[in-house]
Structure 1
Amino acid sequence: MFQLIQRGQIYADHHGWPVIIHSSTTEVVRYWRQGRINTASIDRFNNDFEHLDHWEAEQIRAELETSDHIKHLRAMRAA
């Protein structure tokens, strides 16, 4: 399926992390992941990334925040 890749769209990478499109050309896609801009070729992007709607992205972010919070609490208890 053909889909335009535009700035601000939300995708999930192959690890399930939500990423936001920064820019794209005919050869590469630049995206934000955890505060950093990364680059992927168009072929890799088409194979490894999945488009997310806003609701799916919010759900993933909430799950990641919960996971990080639980890790933090466990570390505090162990210290």
Structure 2
Amino acid sequence: MRRSENSLRALVEKWLSPSDASPARVTCFRHLANHKGCLVCVESTRTTRRLSIAFFRHGDGGWYVFPPVAG
């Protein structure tokens, strides 16, 4: 996967499809223990529900929806 396809912005666009009517916003930002990356929660509100996804930054600089392996 190319770096630009795994940027946080690209993943938020892909998973939450923000728009003017339902923008995405960061609701949480935390550094993970032992400098293993960070956690960013992003939320978007739809007409009937709120969508929230946690993104984790891994040691390779990529963003994923699963935490980095401990070790």
| TM-score strictly above 0.5 | no
TM-score after normalising by structure 1: 0.28
Q: Which has the higher helix share?
A: 1
Q: Which has the higher strand share?
A: 2
TM-score after normalising by structure 2: 0.29
The structure with more radius of gyration: 1
